[in-house]
Copies of this chain bind each other. A is one copy, B any other.
Amino acid sequence: MAKLIGACMFGQSGGPTSVINSSAAGVFTEALKQDCITKVYGAKHGIKGILDEEFYDMGEESLEELMLLKNTPSSALGSVRYKLKSYEDNPADYERLLEVFKKYNIRYFFYNGGNDSMDTCNKVSKFMQKSGWECRVMGVPKTIDNDLYGTDHCPGYGSAAKYVATTLMEINLDAKVYNTGMVTIIEAMGRNAGWLTAAAALAQDGLGADLIYLPEVPFSTEKFLADVKEVCAKNNNNCIAVVSEGIKTAEGKYVSEAEVSATDLFGHAQLGGLAARLGGLVSKELGVKVRPIEFSLMQRCAAHLASKTDIEEAFNAGAKAVKCAVEGMTDKMVVYKRVEKDGKYACEYDVMDVALAANTERKVPSEWIINNGTYLSQEYIDYAMPLIQGAAEAPTENGLPRFARLKKVLVKK
């Protein structure tokens, strides 16, 4: 296949992770090496930056700073939650994209994100094909939710899972320090899939959770209270429960939004998170000391605690996207394939049609959820454990993280 010569555009989209910038580093460093790629652009705030003609010239950055992106959390270029409508509903966006692609001779487009972002990526890909503008489009997966279809796991998941398991072990020791008993309720992210919350089961040495609730299992407040009560009775009023923010009632309503009690005590959803609400309920109904904890943004941005495996795989996924595009592929997303090498976990990189990843969701298999919906099986642990291996070894300066300092030179319009 003849080499396609032109510029490349890379964008980050959706909720950031500890390692999304590692994929960016993979894309940038690989693209800068390729002779056929004349310019390497980074879109400011994803697709929005392209529409607004705001993007950075990544060729202006030093290789050293680009490599520091491997340990820099969040989306260095800025992210966006802009859902591209269908061409029929909003042709202007598509025409504008084509205009910008033509103006800057963009022949390679890499988009890094989760299911929604892959939908955008897919739409851009199909439109460019239809319009006759030759442009190789590749999706790079990303999500702490680990819910993308077609890939063994997702970049970002291993690091967030490592945060959950490590922090849980530390909290477990702290929560049991007095002889008075305490119910600790921890809220982890994951609106529709419970992969991240499941990582609580990775904790070792008996320093994990007693109860784990995923959105895959309908949540009953009564059963939850009974479960907590049972653990407390056995365990000197100590109990650690980890709940996914996305747990839903049997009617499909998010518990975080539902009235979890008949009293008006829980009617102010905007004030406390789910953990605080469930905690209030436990305190009221069981009369025990309660500590609600939200892992909040920390679980997705704690780059100092990232998994080395995750960092390296995310980097490789970015580089793979560029290599595949240069070799002639388009309309694909990079996927991870788990293989065994010398009896050990290893990851290989493959591609699949980006359309397959768009807007699909992969949930935790129901057979992996055990103990009457309150724990994870050994199959899950065997699946997830390899993904959290290795330390980030993030560079520091003055005892604090040394994140990438990009120049971010905006391309002149």
State the A residues within 8 Å of B (CB).
Answer: 16, 45, 48, 72-76, 78-81, 162, 165-167, 169-171, 173-179, 202-205, 207, 265-266, 268, 270-273, 276-277, 280, 283, 291, 293-294, 296-298, 300-305, 307, 385, 388-391, 396-401, 403, 405
Contact B403 A385 (CB under 8 A): no
Number of copies: 2
A271 closest partner in B (C-beta) = B272
Contact A400 B204 (CB under 8 A): yes
Please indicate the chain B residues that have their CB under 8 angstroms from the CB of A272 in the complex: 271-273, 276
Tell me which of B177, B265, B401 contacts A74 (CB under 8 A).
B177
Contact B270 A268 (CB under 8 A): no
The answer to whether A385 and B398 touch (CB under 8 A), given A293-B297, A297-B174, A297-B175, is yes
Contact A74 B301 (CB under 8 A): no
Tell me which of B165, B170, B300 contacts A73 (CB under 8 A).
B170
Contact A207 B171 (CB under 8 A): no
Contact B389 A177 (CB under 8 A): no
The answer to whether A178 and B401 touch (CB under 8 A), given A167-B298, A170-B301, A391-B396, is no
CB distance from A199 to the nearest CB of B (A): 11
Most chain B C-beta atoms within 10 Å of own C-beta, residue among A176, A271, A390: A271
4 A-B pairs with least C-beta separation: A74-B173, A272-B272, A174-B301, A389-B399
Please indicate the chain B residues that have their CB under 8 angstroms from the CB of A176 in the complex: 74
A162 closest partner in B (C-beta) = B399
Contact A169 B400 (CB under 8 A): yes
The answer to whether A403 and B268 touch (CB under 8 A), given A177-B79, A297-B175, is no
CB distance from A116 to the nearest CB of B (A): 14
CB distance from A178 to the nearest CB of B (A): 6
Contact A304 B170 (CB under 8 A): yes
Please indicate the chain B residues that have their CB under 8 angstroms from the CB of A266 in the complex: 271
A397, B399: Cα distance in complex, Å:
24
Tell me which of B78, B169, B396 contacts A178 (CB under 8 A).
B78
Contact B300 A74 (CB under 8 A): no
A161 closest partner in B (C-beta) = B399
Most chain B C-beta atoms within 10 Å of own C-beta, residue among A178, A270, A303: A178
Tell me which of B268, B302, B399 contacts A170 (CB under 8 A).
B302
A405, B204: Cα distance in complex, Å:
12
CB distance from A411 to the nearest CB of B (A): 17
Tell me which of B166, B175, B298 contacts A304 (CB under 8 A).
B166
A75 closest partner in B (C-beta) = B177
Tell me which of B202, B271, B398 contacts A265 (CB under 8 A).
B271
6 contacts across the A-B interface (CB closer than 8 A) = A16-B177, A73-B174, A74-B177, A79-B177, A79-B178, A171-B301
